[in-house]
Amino acid sequence: MITPEIVKFLQEEAQARFLRYVAVDTRSDEESSKSPSTPGQLVLARLLESELKQLPLRNVQLSDRGFLYGVLPASDGSKSPPLTFLAHFDTSPSESGAGVEPVIRENYDGGILRFPKNPELVLTPEEEPELLRFRGDTLITASGDTLLGADDKAGIAEIMAALAAMVRFPKLPHPELRIVLTPDEEIGRGTDGIDLSRLGTYGYTMDGGLVGELEDECFNAHKAVVLFKGRNIHPGYAKGKMINAAAIAARFIAALPEAESPEHTEKREGFFHMVELKGDENEARATLIIRDFEAAGNERRIELLRRQAAAFEVRYPGLQISPTITEQYRNMNEVLAKHPSLVDKARRAMAAAGVEVIRKAIRGGTDGARLCFMGMPTPNLFAGGMRFHSKTEWIPVSALTKASETILHLCRLWAEEGK
Ligand SMILES: [Zn+2]
């Protein structure tokens, strides 16, 4: 039973923790080869380490690669295998995360949001209709010169608040919880160096957006590097001799179906996306990413790329085209479909917390997807923030509380029902 007293406790804990965590600059850095990529992440990791010890959790350990682990033993009579909750402490490299000054906007009236440190910047309900769901609620934003960092410090605050509640109110039933807070998710290294022996049987990432989001699908992802080898010669005397690799590469890309590009696709549609094209007459290189929810969709695109390469070699005698295809990640639904009770319990936990469930397929990847294929089935739940990676990032305070409540309900369902 989650009493009004517990809800109030979660509300205060989650908000206070969230405001404490966003004050630390944890922007990750793709250019860095260190792990974690930036020292600020370790500052937050140490703060969280001491908070986990204070709760107290057991076996709290901050690894030298910046992964923070801790264990809360199961409550009496739990039937569940160990469960893991994950969130990441880095923020996106796309905006500054230094000197974040949160603005707390009580009793939101449905109007335009303005930002004290950036008079040009506004966020309107026309642009962001979801704002209107939260009339009367308290919203938190940054001040206009940084992102807020709700991605994913909201997730961390929600997990920490739920843990604090389980310690404070020992009647709340829960499985053994193996908590993992991770660095460098935003630069795709959030599972590199994770200690698999410290993970639970099943997991949940708290890293989604709008309240109610439940994500159990993501893209199948491939990368294609297409190398063009031509032949250069003085352009004045090139007739019948020159094979211009750069010009042919441009034609090759232009010949791909334009309708299958990110600019023209949504929902369950897949695409080709050219991320880089460079070269000269002798050699050119095009890098593409290929995405689809269905494995067959990507196979079809890879086949099309290979056939087009063969056709171009016929069209331009002497030209060599070699496509190199690598798999990046796979749709986690392949794994999660075999463990339906994970998503089913998440759905029921949200309903018990009074949250309307929004089933979604992520048009991208998540750490949960990688963990699914590393042996721990892990869907993604809402953390409640919106407009991630931008200066207009915002989160309703009620979302923090609802996510923490969802964690408590999930823990109860697992403890009572087992697998
Ligand atoms: Zn995130």
Mean pLDDT of 363-377: 91
> Is 90 exceeded by the pLDDT of residue 365?
no
HSE, side-chain direction, 13 A CA sphere, residue 240: 0
Selecting among 90, 260, 292, 405, the annotated active-site residue is: 90
> Is 90 exceeded by the pLDDT of residue 414?
yes
What residues sit around ligand 1, an ion, with C-beta below 5 angstroms? Answer: 151-152, 207
Buried/exposed 124-148: b ≥16 CB within 10 Å, e otherwise: ebeeeeebeebeeebbbbbbbbbbb
Ligand 1 centre to CA of 205 (Å) is 9
> Is 90 exceeded by the pLDDT of residue 184?
yes
Q: Where are the beta strands (DSSP E) in 15-117?
A: 58-62, 68-72, 83-88, 103-105, 113-115
Ligand 1 centre to CA of 238 (Å) is 52
Q: What is the pLDDT of residues 242-282, one digit of tens each?
A: 999 999 999 999 999 999 999 999 999 999 999 999 999 99
The amino acid sitting at 164 is A
Ligand 1 centre to CA of 310 (Å) is 40
Phi, psi at 283, each rounded to 5°: -150, 140
Strand partners, 202: 83
Selecting among 185, 186, 217, 405, the annotated active-site residue is: 185
The amino acid sitting at 56 is P
Q: What is the CA radius of gyration of the chain?
A: 24
Sole residue written with tokens 């019948």: 240
pLDDT at 367: 85
HSE, side-chain direction, 13 A CA sphere, residue 318: 11
DSSP string, 357-370: -EEEEESS--HHHH
Q: Which one, of 106, 81, 292, lies nearest residue 199 by Cα?
A: 81
Q: How many CB atoms lie within 10 A of CB 169?
A: 15
Q: Which one, of 174, 199, 202, 177, lies nearest residue 413 by Cα?
A: 174
From the number of C-beta atoms within 10 Å of its C-beta (0-12, 13-18, 19+), residue 321 rates as buried
Number of residues in the chain: 419
Q: Which one, of 6, 409, 8, lies nearest residue 174 by Cα?
A: 409
Ligand 1 centre to CA of 28 (Å) is 12
The pLDDT mean for the chain works out to 96
Give the three-state DSSP class for 388: coil
Structure tokens at 352: 């018990």
pLDDT at 326: 94
Q: What is the pLDDT of residues 63-95, one digit of tens each?
A: 999 999 999 999 999 999 999 999 999 999 999
Mean pLDDT of 355-381: 92
Our CA angle for 369, 26, 410, nearest 5°, is 45
Ligand 1 centre to CA of 151 (Å) is 5
Sole residue written with tokens 């109110």: 169
Q: What is the pLDDT of residues 192-202, one digit of tens each?
A: 999 999 999 99
Q: What is the pLDDT of residues 3-58, one digit of tens each?
A: 999 999 999 999 999 999 999 999 999 899 999 999 999 999 999 999 999 999 99
Ligand 1 centre to CA of 144 (Å) is 20
Q: What is the pLDDT of residues 103-152, one digit of tens each?
A: 999 999 999 999 999 999 999 999 999 999 999 999 999 999 999 999 99
Torsion over CA of 50, 54, 58 and 61, rounded to 10 degrees? Answer: 0
CA 204 to the chain's CA centroid: 12
Q: Which one, of 247, 232, 222, 241, lies nearest residue 323 by Cα?
A: 222
> Is 90 exceeded by the pLDDT of residue 226?
yes
Tell me whether residue 176 is one of the annotated catalytic residues: no
Q: Are 383 and 87 in contact (CB under 8 A)?
A: yes
Strand partners, 394: 141, 386
Residue 349 CA to residue 343 CA, distance in Å, equals 10
Give the three-state DSSP class for 333: helix
Structure tokens at 355: 């949250």
Our CA angle for 408, 17, 43, nearest 5°, is 120
Tell me whether residue 101 is one of the annotated catalytic residues: no
Q: How many CB atoms lie within 10 A of CB 278?
A: 11
Continuous H helices in 219-289: 245-254
Report residue 299's pLDDT band, with 50, 70 and 90 as the boundaries. Answer: very high
> Is 90 exceeded by the pLDDT of residue 328?
no
Alpha-carbon torsion (369, 375, 377, 378), positive or negative? negative
DSSP state of 163: H
Ligand 1 centre to CA of 193 (Å) is 18
Sole residue written with tokens 């906007």: 105
pLDDT at 188: 86
Report residue 419's pLDDT band, with 50, 70 and 90 as the boundaries. Answer: confident
Residue 414 CA to residue 418 CA, distance in Å, equals 5
Ligand 1 centre to CA of 379 (Å) is 13
Ligand 1 centre to CA of 200 (Å) is 21
Check residue 353 and give left, alpha or beta (phi > 0: left; psi -120 to 50: alpha).
alpha
Strand partners, 362: 218
Structure tokens at 252: 């090759």
Mean pLDDT of 289-303: 97
Pairing of strands 394-396, 213-218: unpaired
pLDDT at 364: 87
Mean pLDDT of 289-309: 97
